[in-house]
Structure 1
Amino acid sequence: MHIVIMGCGRVGSTLAHILEDKGHSVAIIDQSPEAFRRLRGGFRGRRVTGFGFDRDVLEEAGIEQASAFVAVSSGDNSNIISARVARETFGVDNVVARIYDPRRAEVYQRLGIPTVATVRWTADQMLRRLLPDGALPLWRDPTGEVMLAELNVADSWVGTKVIAFEEAVRTRVAFLSRMGEAIVPDSDTVIQDGDVVHVMARSDDKERLNAAVAQPADGSR
C-alpha cells in the first residue's frame, strides 16, 4: 500500500525505510530539502518539499492513493493540522500523529485521530524502570475511557492461575510477557516469577488496580 509520511526527521526517515523494506510505497514530506539527507541512498520513495497541510503538497505525495498518513514533524500544530487534512479532506482512514504535549494528545484522540505523545510516553517508560510500582497505561482507546495497562504484581501472586487472578482483582488479563515472549493465557495458565501482567481496564480504575495487585494473594490457585 502507499503511505505518506510528514516529517523527515529521525522517526520519519526510519519509518520510511522500514515501510519500504516491507514492500510498501512511501512518500515523505518535509519543508527542508536538507532533511532528505537522512534517507539512505537507495530509497525509492518520493521526496516532496513543502508543508504537510498544503493540499498541493499532499497531492504531489500521492495522498489521494494513500492507505495511511503519518505526521511526525517536530511541531504539534503542524502534525495535527496535517492529520486532520489527510483525514477530513482526503478521506484517509488510517492516520496517526505524533504529539509532544500529552494534554493535546487526549483532545485529538477524542476527535478520532490516534496520537503518540512522545515526551509523556518516554517519561512513563523511564519512571516504570526507576519506580516499578503500580499500573502503567500503555494504550488508551480514542475516548480515553479504556486502557491497556502493565501491572507490577506482588510476589505472592506467583503460582496463581490467571483466571483466579482475574476474579480476585476484578479485571481482564490480555496477555503475559514472559522472558521476552507474549502469552495469551488460557484456563490453565499460571503466573510465574518474572511475568509482566497486561490487563484491559477502565482508565478510572487505575488506583483500585494498583491497590489490588499490591496486596498478597489470598491463596487461590
Structure 2
Amino acid sequence: MQEIKNTKKELYMIAGGSRLGANIASFLSKKNKDVVIIDLNPNAFKKLHPDYSGYTIAGDAVDISALEEAGIKRAYVLIASTDDDNTNIMISQLARIVYDVPNVIARLYSTDLEEIASENDVKVIYPYKLSIETIENFLKDRGCLK
C-alpha cells in the first residue's frame, strides 16, 4: 500500500473505484483536495483522470486496517461509492460511528437501506433519482411539463 502523507489538509476519501467513485475522486483532485480512493481491484484506478494527483489504495474499504492505512482518522469526507448497497452502508456506518467522519455520503440503488443511513447522519444519493430530477428540470425548462 502507498504511504498516505499526513498533511494538514482535510482528507477526502472515496471508497469504491466505480465510474462514479473515480469521477468524484478526479473532480476533487482537480479542486486541489487531498484525495484517496480505495478499491479491491487495482484496475479500477484506470478510470481515474490522467491528471489525478491523489492516492490510490488497493484494499478492502470494509477492512479497518485498510481504512486506517488510507487515513480515515483524518478524513473530513467519506463517499461510499462501491457497486454494492450493503457494502456502502457498512463503510458509511464505520466512518460515522467508529471514526466520527463529519461528512459521509453513501451511493445507494435501493431505498430499503435509507433509514439505516439516516439514523447516523449519512447523506444518501440515488443516481436514478438525480437522473429523474435532471430530466424533470429539463422538460420543465422546455415547457414540456408543468
Structure 1-normalised TM-score?
A: 0.55
**Map 1:90-101 → 2, pairs under 5 A:** 90-101=99-110
Shift of 1:106: 4.3
Structure 2-normalised TM-score?
A: 0.80
Query: Which deviations, in whole Å up to 9, do the C-alpha atoms of 1:110-164 show, x marking residues without a partner?
Result: 43211002234334544x36986xxxxxxxxxxxxxxxxxxxxxxxxxxxxxxxx
Alpha-carbon separation, structure 2, partners of 1:17 and 1:109: 27
Query: Which deviations, in whole Å up to 9, do the C-alpha atoms of 1:180-221 show, x marking residues without a partner?
Result: xxxxxxxxxxxxxx8xxxxxxxxxxxxxxxxxxx8xxxxxxx
Identical-residue share of aligned pairs (%) = 31
Q: Which amino acid aligns with 2:28?
A: L
Whose helix proportion is higher, 1 or 2?
Answer: 2
Find the counterpart in structure 1 of residue 117 from structure 2.
108
Whose strand proportion is higher, 1 or 2?
Answer: 1
RMSD over equivalenced CA pairs, Å:
2.5
Structure 2: state its 5+ residue gaps.
1-9
Q: In structure 1, the residue corresponding to 2:37 is in which secondary structure?
A: strand
Aligned residues, how many?
135
Q: Which amino acid aligns with 1:25?
A: D
Structure with bigger RCO (C-alpha 8 Å, 6+ apart): 2
Q: Which amino acid aligns with 1:91?
A: D
Does structure 1 retain, via aligned residues, the 8 Å contact 2:72–2:95? Answer: yes
**Map 1:156-171 → 2, pairs under 5 A:** none
Does structure 1 retain, via aligned residues, the 8 Å contact 2:108–2:126? Answer: yes
Structure 1: state its 5+ residue gaps.
133-178, 180-193, 195-213, 215-221
**After the TM superposition, which of the residue ranges 92-101 and 116-125 deviates more from structure 2?**
116-125
Aligned mate of 2:50, from 17, 41, 47 = 41
Q: Which amino acid aligns with 2:124?
A: T
Distance 1:74 1:130, change over 3 A: same
Q: In structure 2, the residue corresponding to 1:28 is in which secondary structure?
A: strand
Q: Which runs of 4+ in 1 moved over 6 A?
A: none
Find the counterpart in structure 1 of residue 5 from structure 2.
none
